[in-house]
A and B are shown apart, each in its own frame.
Chain A
Amino acid sequence: QKEVEQNSGPLSVPEGAIASLNCTYSDRGSQSFFWYRQYSGKSPELIMSIYSNGDKEDGRFTAQLNKASQYVSLLIRDSQPSDSATYLCAVNQNFVFGPGTRLSVLP
């Protein structure tokens, strides 16, 4: 069973700080990587996808992929209380999800 691992948290950061979320995966042949945000009681919503090594930026979010080390991370700059949610990492087109990391941004 291909695995995706995330620190379950909770990860607490002060408002305005950078939140760093990490994800590691076991399938070395993985090609597609996705970050989702899930608020309590809601379904996951796509934040961004990344397919190539390096950084991909979208607004306050930056995804970083390192296939050699088999990890993908998500940075959230200028964190806001509204960013408090569970962040899910998913890998490949069959979307194997990690357990999620709970982020709490403190005002």
Chain B
Amino acid sequence: EAGVAQSPRYKIIEKRQSVAFWCNPISGHATLYWYQQILGQGPKLLIQFQNNGVVDDSQLPKDRFSAERLKGVDSTLKIQPAKLEDSAVYLCGTAGTSGNYEQYFGPGTRLTVT
């Protein structure tokens, strides 16, 4: 079974530029999460999707961050414009919805904003 795919793995941009991250979930996983993990901290949930609907986006900075999950499969997270404090690893995780709610993570995208 293929795991969660993310791209790119690394990205360096200047502040005020825009950037987009892509995630492809494990086949059949209806729930998809985006997290921001700053060095030395636990992952912080940005947004949770169930199929193509948003379950929780309470911690998503909506003035600069946006996310979508078209057709309930792949998802894209965008930052526009980026700030220095957005430098972090962006993790995508997916989980099933029946019985077993275990979440599995992709490799992450390391973003550096200069």
| Total count of chain B residues near the partner, CB < 8 A | 24
Report which B residues bind A (CB closer than 8 A): 31, 33, 35, 41-45, 48, 55-56, 89, 91, 93, 95, 100-108
Rank and list the top 6 A-B pairs by shortest CB-CB distance, nearest first. A97-B42, A43-B105, A99-B42, A43-B108, A97-B43, A93-B101
Closest Cβ of chain A to B78, distance in Å, is 20
Chain B: interface secondary structure?
strand
Digitize A27-40: 1 where CB-to-B-CB distance is under 8 Å, 0 elsewhere: 00000101000000
Interface residues on A, range: 10 to 19
Other A-B pairs beyond A49-B100, A97-B42, 9, CB < 8 Å: A32-B101, A49-B102, A88-B42, A90-B103, A93-B31, A93-B101, A95-B33, A97-B43, A100-B42
Say if the beta carbon of A17 comes within 8 Å of chain B: no
Closest Cβ of chain B to A102, distance in Å, is 9
Q: Is the CB of A98 within 8 A of B33?
A: no
Q: Which of A76-90 contact B (CB under 8 A)?
A: 88, 90
Digitize A12-37: 1 where CB-to-B-CB distance is under 8 Å, 0 elsewhere: 00000000000000000000101000
Report which A residues bind B (CB closer than 8 A): 4, 32, 34, 42-46, 49, 88, 90, 93-100
